[in-house]
Chains A and B, each alone.
Chain A
Amino acid sequence: MSAEVVFNEKNAAPKKKERYIVQTFKRVLKNKLAFIGIIIVSIQIILAIFAPFLTSYGPYEQNLAVTELGIGEEGHILGTDNYGRDMWSRLVYGARISLIVGLSSVALGLIGGLTLGLLAGFYRRIDGFVMRIVDLLFAFPGILLAMLIIAMLGTSLVNVVIAISIWSIPGCARIVRGSVLSIKKQEYILAMKSLGASDIRIMLKHILPNCTAPIIVFATMRMATAILSTSALSFLGLGAQPPTPEWGAMIAAGQDFMWTAPHMSIIPGIAIMLTVFAFNVVGDGLRDALDPNMEIDL
């Protein structure tokens, strides 16, 4: 600030405080890895939203004249696959599928986990019962649980979303229950009760906002797991079916052409890796930034 404005009375008034969310975001950006992660995630979101404008070929458009083109050949930035479909288009449309499946499964899992966690934490009577169900879900290896659910419901992307969201419930429920248990003992909850607030009001309006930090971190980390699992299930033939441009399915389709056209598998593989990495580091960054014990040095 230059000397002449310092003495201006309007500027001497306390600076308008930044919202907490802005402060948090700034702290996340200070973390270099998280910064890279945010860039990768943002690129993916932009690709997914503007997919039709960023590609010159449709993801399903076959051209048997130009099969298995390498990277950069004949105007295909990332080459073509064995049916002559443009790899770049398929990758970009695949980002769309990954994000939609990831977001919807995490959202569904959060709804289930939040409900169970809130109820279990708030009402001691049902705590034991709910948490044993959660333990039961935990006892299954995640991917096996997902496969079991898909085996019951049939193979499709929608069922993958359902399977992964069920798999997200126990983790979320535990985190929420833990937060609720500690917040419930705070005096301000007793104070709210003394004002005649109902249980539902206290749970949703007063306890839930206090556990947003761990939930945000969980959801971000969970996005990585959800995207990875979707690809894994599709790779195994349990999720997206060909010709859907899903990354896991693309790797599976490219397997037979590893010697002649390795980019068919490697490119979606790199995409999955980068996405999972990005969501994980963003999650880590958020966890550090939302930790109330961290010093604020802005």
Chain B
Amino acid sequence: MERLLQVENLVTQYKTAEGMFSAVKGISFTVEKGETVCIVGESGSGKSATALSIMGLLPANGKITEGSIRLKDDELVGKTEEQLQQIRGNEISMIFQEPMTALNPVFTIGFQIREPLMIHLNMSKKEATLVSIELLKKVGIPNPKEKIKQFPHELSGGMRQRVMIAIALACEPSLLIADEPTTALDVTIQSQILDLIDDLKEQMGMGVVFVTHDMGVVAEIADRVMVMYAGEVVEMGDVHRIFNHPQHSYTKGLLAAVPNVDDDSKNWLQGVNIHGKSSASS
């Protein structure tokens, strides 16, 4: 397989009132073409910071202090804002957690899908409108011709997430970063969106980095899984291996914390220290 993304020894730090805080502490991973890599972990484990580092969209107080991120052998760390703007939306796209807030409320759906097409592909408004209708059709939105005239609040959450996906995929990026795109959706819609992402991945042959905390989602979509805890990768491997033979106690904890319909005993996720010992037992 072709290597798409290579992250090596990435360190991302945030400047806080108490000094520098490392959200990501030297992680390395790769994404192949046509592969879905899931980054799993609890809140604050650095999974979103990793995603934002790849996009170069860290907030003003965040910074990549070490390491390299290469997209098709093109180093992203240290690129200027203008160079990154060429890549974002074109080579790498991102979909966000909240479809409610990730669409601008004052513009129609059509306006927002046209944007990336007009920015990167220099399309005229007319061409972009035609392409947007095609894109909406592709992500499974009924009557796309009507929908492009509607505003985000007129659409349901699932529809909005489909629109977000259409926007992200407008320029056929080679890498898609999905930051918990299904967390705000109910389970039925969630599985539809996951299927959609999987289908589009197959069609376009792109790589997907999927950030989530939900092991159920991981089982459904991942090829490989990277488990993060406190800014470090605690375990990484093939999805079947992770689920069948988890090595690290944190991974075991994560898997045990997935609620089971038949079992009403509560398996709370225990904190672990980074060397793999459960804090409950130490």
Contact = CB atoms under 8 A, between A and B. Distances in A.
Interface string B159-183: 0000010011000000000000000
Interface string B238-279: 000000000000000000000000000000000000000000
Chain B, interface residues (CB within 8 Å), range: 20 to 34
Nearest to A124: B60
Interface stretch (B17-25, B101-109, B219-227): B101-109
Interface string A181-205: 0000011101111111110010001
Contacts of B55: 194
B57 interface: yes
B211 to A, nearest CB: 13
A209 interface: yes
Nearest to A188: B104
Contact of A196 (B103, B104, B119): B119
Contacts of A198: 82, 85, 119
Contacts, number: 67
A198 B115 CA distance: 11
Contact of B102 (A187, A196, A201): A187
Contacts of B47: none
A283 B116 CA distance: 37
- Specify the main secondary structure of chain B where it touches its partner: mixed
A171 B161 CA distance: 39
B106 A210 contact: yes
Most chain B CB within 10 A, of A187, A191, A193, A209, is at A191
A172 B101 CA distance: 27
A196 B88 contact: yes
B87 interface: yes
B86 interface: yes
A196 B167 CA distance: 12
B115 A195 contact: yes
A213 to B, nearest CB: 10
A124 B102 CA distance: 23
Interface in A203-229: 205-206, 209-210
Of A124, A190, A201, A209, which is in contact with the most chain B CB atoms at under 10 Å from its CB?
A190
Interface of B: 55, 57, 60, 82, 84-90, 93-94, 96, 98, 101-107, 115-116, 119-120, 164, 167-168
Those 8 A-B pairs whose CB atoms lie nearest each other, nearest first: A195-B89, A196-B89, A196-B88, A194-B94, A187-B101, A188-B104, A196-B85, A195-B116
26 contacts: A186-B104, A187-B96, A187-B98, A187-B101, A187-B102, A188-B103, A190-B57, A190-B96, A191-B102, A191-B103, A192-B104, A194-B57, A195-B88, A195-B89, A195-B167, A195-B168, A196-B84, A196-B87, A197-B85, A197-B89, A197-B119, A205-B115, A206-B107, A210-B104, A210-B105, A210-B106
